[in-house]
Amino acid sequence: MDTMTLAPAAPAAPAASSAATAASSSTVTAEEIKPLPAWFFAFEGVMSAAYDLFQADHRLLWALGALGVVNLVVSLTVLRSRLRLAKRMWRGKSTRKVAIGLVALRLGAHLALTFAGFTVVSAAGHFAFAAAMSATTVGLLWYAQRVSLRALAAEGV
């Protein structure tokens, strides 16, 4: 089984009867769960960098707002079929740990720098922080999805 797409490596045997497939319509099959595309993680990376991007240049607020709306629309339309994966991922402890860890990293890094006397005030510093947070978010979300897909594949969905 390919864990990145949850598609079986070999063709599956046909269903015994249509009644059996109708009865199992409430269960999720491996073919129904598709991974989130990499470009979606870029949206999430920008959203996690939004605070520092706004601090670097306040004129970016309209662009960040527009990207937030696009993110919401894409999530509810294009990625609608993948909401089951997202719901299952949020039930997992690792995804919640990633989300809490990212918030703690954001607050902790700024707090630690402030206590050390190196408060980020320049636009370049905020852009660097935004790039670091965006890369961290994309990497961790990709990792959380990969772990979730492996767990779903292992349990046979």
pLDDT recorded at residue 30:
53
Q: Which of 3-36 are b and which e, b meaning 16 or more Cβ less than 10 Å from the residue's Cβ?
A: beebeeeeeeeeeeeeeeeeeeeeeeebeebbbb
pLDDT recorded at residue 15:
43
Q: What percent of the chain has pLDDT over 90?
A: 18
Is the pLDDT score of 69 beyond 70?
A: yes
Is the pLDDT score of 141 beyond 50?
A: yes
Mean pLDDT over 15-26 rounds to 41
Q: Which residue has the higher pLDDT, 113 or 91?
A: 113
pLDDT recorded at residue 127:
94
Q: Which residue has the higher pLDDT, 90 or 125?
A: 125
pLDDT (tens digit per residue) in 102-134 = 888 888 888 898 899 888 889 999 999 999 999
Distance of CA 89 to CAs 35, 107, 149, Å? 11, 24, 9
pLDDT recorded at residue 107:
86
Q: Which residue has the higher pLDDT, 30 or 20?
A: 30
User: How many Å apart are CA 55 and CA 61, to the nearest integer?
Assistant: 10
Residue at 20: amino acid letter: A
Mean pLDDT over 63-68 rounds to 92
Q: Average pLDDT, whole number, for the chain?
A: 77
